[in-house]
Structure 1
Amino acid sequence: MIQTVLATLYQVFVPISIPVIVGILLKRYQKLDTKPLLTLALYFLSPALIFETLTKAEISLNDVSQTLLFCIFNFIVLWAAAVAVSKILGLSAPQLAGLTLVSTLTNSVNYGLPLVLLAFGQLGLDKASVYVIIQMILVNTVGIYLAARSQFAMKDAFKSVFRLPSIYAAAAAVLVRMLDFPIPATVDKGIAMVSGAYSPIVLCVLGAQMISVQGGELLRNVQKAFWAGIGIRLLLSPLLAAIILLALRIQGTLFAVLLILASMPAAVNAVILAEKFDASPNFVSKCILWTTLASFLLLPVLIVLVK
């Protein structure tokens, strides 16, 4: 078991760690500005990856429907868990909002997609692409609304979805498949070249973001929220995801991919939303840092188990 985990750590996480370490070093010594890279990834690289993957993906309608059901149930259960834990611990409204962000928003795009590709190959990436699109819609609508419903109208949340280029890339890919439209070889090669740049760029950004996250001391009354966030994201979320997957009778590669993606560390974007909506950003940023660091130890074990 230990030997298998170490082999997974070497084969999967060593390649991932190289661009992450480069991002950390560039941020530390060259003051790397990640905003242009995030814009590049959001508006160019990610849509290319989604389009290329969905046009060639070996996925069935059953895969799509099962992934949709899992995403919805998993989101609801994690939100309910955050609310329940918040009431038990007597957390304030901003702390509940922050705990909701940490519990429901995972780094499935910047970290999850490259990880799935390395761990499960192209078939795993095919399955993951559907999850990512659904997750983008949920996070940018229901997720933001639940975290900041006093400051954010639901209609504005739905409008924000249509600002995501990957949504249009996914729609275009579905249209291409439905019409059986042939993509010229030169265009296809260009899209593949762009999508190939996605993983190293976003992992470099992840490293730079990790070193930017503040991990200072928390007030005593905020520490409860921090440990609740760590517990839900690292321990409870994989357990709940496994239960939901078993209840939905999802098996094989799809089971493994969805479980890994649902067990990813808290998304870096969560702290941006926490700051915007005053959702206790200090404890949210610390949760992001520590869940990301812990994931390099926990995810190899999880990958070995699901394989």
Structure 2
Amino acid sequence: MGLFLTLLLKITPLYLNIVLGYISVKILDIKRESIANLVIYILAPIVVFSATISVKIDYTLISLPIFFFIFCSFTAILTYTLCKKYWSDATSNVLAFSAGTSNAGYTGIPLALIFFDHTFADIYIFTMLGFIFYGNTTGFYISAKGNFTVKQSLLKVVRLPILYAFILGLILNINGVSIPEELFIYTSQFKGAYGILGMMILGMSLVGLKKSSDLDKKFILISFFIKFIYWPLAILFFIYLDKTIFNLYNSEIYKMMFLFSILPLANNSVTLAILHGIKPEKASITILLSTIFSIIYIPIMLVLYGGFN
């Protein structure tokens, strides 16, 4: 019980940023589009560049984003195949996209900064690239199946500034170039800013949300099952296989992988719901519920895992 309360006290302040985000739009009339652009086009590239240039590149590290890209893609394809018969519109496409990812950035980075030292926090951010590439390749294609081509999806990836930040950081890292300590301290501050503003964006997206008669219980139940049961069980099974057979990773990497598996749903689904003409309340309510649920769910799962001491 003591460990649970300790973990709960650690993560609860992060969720206060959601309230601040809601207030900033509702009362201060802050434009959420401006904040989103700031996060996507300035903060995210700096955070990824700083992490990529700082980590020690080896085959084990390279395999982490590749693993999650494959896992996310497999989960999305499986979900779409099994669930497409349940809806006549593009709901199953949005569900499949959501099933294949998690809130690895906005929720995950602040948690990684809490539970890991800066070295493993950078490895976490580097690994997060697997989720980013999934969301803009396999995930985007599945979510937009029938409306967009593979070429259009890939063009979306090419336009991402975060991609070029990663490539530049990787090239400099491989060639032994490092950033000065003073500059590293400066760029490290962007990780905290990214996490704060990212969580605030979740709160901003709730403005205008109303009780909807279109509350889709089936959508919510399937989303929760995949995210909060399938994901951790699948990752724990992989950890078991690695411990007993492959021996690729260490205990710190296992903790990081497990953290990825217990994060709430990603808020990208709201954007996709709008894109496909599906009432965004369906995705917004599901994401809100998963985020609230994760306040208790995450510390419980960490306790069951044994803590992140």
TM-score in same-fold range (> 0.5):
yes
* Cα 1:219–1:142 shift into 2, 3 Å: same
- For 2:87 and 2:211, how far apart are their aligned partners in 1? 20
Unmatched segments (≥5 aa) in structure 1: none
Is 1:21 matched with 2:19?
A: yes
Matches within 5 A, 1:141-160: 141-160=137-156
**Cα deviations by residue, 1:38-62 (Å, 9 ceiling, x for unpaired):** 1111111111111112222245321
1:137 alignment counterpart: 133
* Cα 1:294–1:217 shift into 2, 3 Å: same
1:294 alignment counterpart: 293
Equivalent position amino acid for 1:29 in 2: I
Identify the match of residue 166 of structure 1 among 162, 165, 186. Answer: 162
* Cα 1:149–1:204 shift into 2, 3 Å: same
Equivalent position amino acid for 2:203 in 1: G
Tell me if the contact between 2:69 and 2:133 (Cα under 8 Å) persists in the aligned partners.
no
TM-aligned CA deviation for residue 248 of structure 1: 4.4
TM-aligned CA deviation for residue 296 of structure 1: 0.8
**Cα deviations by residue, 1:170-192 (Å, 9 ceiling, x for unpaired):** 11111111111243556545434
1:271 alignment counterpart: 270
Is 1:91 matched with 2:68?
A: no
2:39 alignment counterpart: 41
Identify the match of residue 225 of structure 1 among 204, 212, 219. Answer: 219
Matches within 5 A, 1:253-272: 253-272=252-271
CA RMSD of superposed structures (Å): 2.4
Q: Percent identity?
A: 21
* Cα 1:124–1:298 shift into 2, 3 Å: farther
1:214 alignment counterpart: 209
- For 2:234 and 2:181, how far apart are their aligned partners in 1? 43
- For 1:280 and 1:241, how far apart are their aligned partners in 2? 32
Is 1:124 matched with 2:123?
A: no
Identify the match of residue 203 of structure 1 among 199, 211, 218. Answer: 199
Equivalent position amino acid for 1:227 in 2: L
Equivalent position amino acid for 2:298 in 1: L
Equivalent position amino acid for 2:118 in 1: Q
1:69 alignment counterpart: 67
TM-score (norm 2): 0.87
**Cα deviations by residue, 1:202-249 (Å, 9 ceiling, x for unpaired):** 22223322x3373523448x4322322222222222222322343344
Tell me if the contact between 1:71 and 1:131 (Cα under 8 Å) persists in the aligned partners.
no
- For 2:65 and 2:199, how far apart are their aligned partners in 1? 25
TM-aligned CA deviation for residue 129 of structure 1: 1.4
Equivalent position amino acid for 2:218 in 1: K
- For 2:73 and 2:282, how far apart are their aligned partners in 1? 21
Tell me if the contact between 2:75 and 2:100 (Cα under 8 Å) persists in the aligned partners.
no
TM-aligned CA deviation for residue 126 of structure 1: 2.0
Greater displacement, 247-256 / 112-121: 247-256
1:7 alignment counterpart: 6
Tell me if the contact between 1:16 and 1:203 (Cα under 8 Å) persists in the aligned partners.
yes
1:237 alignment counterpart: 231
- For 2:119 and 2:183, how far apart are their aligned partners in 1? 23
- For 1:59 and 1:118, how far apart are their aligned partners in 2? 23
- For 1:109 and 1:182, how far apart are their aligned partners in 2? 24
- For 2:78 and 2:108, how far apart are their aligned partners in 1? 24
TM-aligned CA deviation for residue 156 of structure 1: 0.8
* Cα 1:187–1:225 shift into 2, 3 Å: closer
Greater helix share, structure number: 1
Tell me if the contact between 2:65 and 2:129 (Cα under 8 Å) persists in the aligned partners.
no
Partner SS for 2:27: helix
Partner SS for 1:108: coil
- For 2:281 and 2:204, how far apart are their aligned partners in 1? 18
